Amino acid sequence: MPESILTGDIQLDEEGQDNILRPRSLNEFQGQSDLKENLDIFIRAAKARQEALDHLFISGPPGLGKTTLAGIVASELGVNFVLTSAPALEKPKDLAGLLTSLSEHSLFFIDEIHRLKPTIEEMLYIAMEDFEMDIIVGQGIGARNVRIPLPRFTLVGATTKPGSVSAPLHTRFGITIRINPYTQQELQAIIRRSAKLLHITISTEASLLLAQCARGTPRVANRLLKRVRDFAQVHQKTEVDYAITTIALQKLQVDHLGLEEQDRFILKTIINSYHGGPVGLQTLAIAVGESAESLEDFYEPYLVQQGLLMRTRQGRTATHLAYQHMGITLPKTHDSRSLFE
C-alpha cells in the first residue's frame, strides 16, 4: 500500500493545523513587500526609542491576514498581545477591564473595529491620546468622574469596512495600512509553505492550480489545500499532483476562477431570471436565498473584482464576461451598453 500523503509522524487536528500555518515573523509573512518593509522600519524605530508603537489601523478584505499581521507585530516588538472584537465589547466596563489589565507597551487588537458602539468609541479617544480612562464612581448627586492612568499601549484596529469607521477614530491612528489581495505567485508560495508545515508533498502544477482558485486569499488557499489533501489521502496518493487536485476541485465545485456553486448560482439567477439585470439587491437576495448583507459583503466583492458583476444605480448587472464564464450566449437583443460600460 502506498505511504500516507502525510510524510510526518504527527497528524494535527484542524485547530492545530490552523495555528501552525500562521506566520510568526515578518520574514515568514508572504507577499505585501512594501507593507512589510514599512512596518519593519516602524517597529525597529519604536524598539530603539523604547516606546510603544503608534496606534495601527489595518484594513482589507476578509482572510488576508489582518489578525495574523497584528500578532506578528506584537511578536516582533516582544510585547503582550491582547485580542478582542468590537461586538464583544458590549458595555464600557468590558473595555475598561481590558485596558486596565494591559502591561506597558502591550498590543491591544480590536477586530471589526467599525462595529464599535459610540460609548465604547468615545472611551477609546482618551485612552488612545492621553493613555487615561474616565470612570464614574458612585451614583446620583454623589457621583464623580475619576480619571485612571493607563500604561502606554498600542491599539491595533482591523476592519473590512474602513469607510464605516468614524473620522474622529480613524484620525487617531498614527499608522494606516491596507492589505491587498495576493497575486497567484504569492499564493503559490503560501501553499508550498503550508504544505511543508503540514508534511504534504505537492507538485508545482498542483500548487499553481490551487493558487488560481484561491480568490487572492491565503485563508481560501489553505482551506483548499487541506481539502485536496483529504482526497489524495483517501485515494492513496503519495503526492498532491495536478490530477488529484483537478478531481478534488471538481468535487468541491470550485472552478478555475475560484467561483463556488453559490457564486455561479447568483450569476445564473441574474442572467436567466432577470435577463442579465439590472436587478435590485433585495430582490436578488430573496431570489438566491441569502441575506442582502451577506450578498453585498461576502459574494459580490469577488464577482466585481473578476469583472463578472457590476453594481449600478439601477441594480446588479451581469457583464459579458459573466456570460462567457457561464457558457451562456449573450442575447442580441440585450442592451450591450449595460454589459460593457
Note if 230 is an active site residue.
no
Among candidate residues 244, 212, 250, the one with its CA nearest the CA of residue 230: 244
Among candidate residues 258, 191, 187, the one with its CA nearest the CA of residue 21: 191
Question: How many residues are listed for the chain in this entry?
Answer: 341
Note if 160 is an active site residue.
yes
Tell me 114's DSSP state.
Answer: G
Note if 196 is an active site residue.
no
Note if 66 is an active site residue.
yes
Note if 161 is an active site residue.
no
Place of cell 480568490: 215
From the candidates 160, 176, 246, 283, give the one annotated as an active-site residue: 160
What residues are paired with 110 via a beta bridge?
Answer: 84, 157
CA distance 202 to 207: 7
From the candidates 22, 47, 54, 67, give the one annotated as an active-site residue: 67
SS3 14: helix
DSSP, residue by residue, 230-250: HHHHHTT-SSB-HHHHHHHHH
Q: Helix/strand/coil (H, E, C) string of 157-211?
A: EEECCHHHCCHHHHCCCCEEEECCCCCHHHHHHHHHHHHHHCCECECHHHHHHHH
Among candidate residues 177, 214, 131, 188, the one with its CA nearest the CA of residue 26: 177
From the candidates 47, 172, 193, 219, give the one annotated as an active-site residue: 219
What residues are annotated to the active site? 66-67, 111, 160, 219
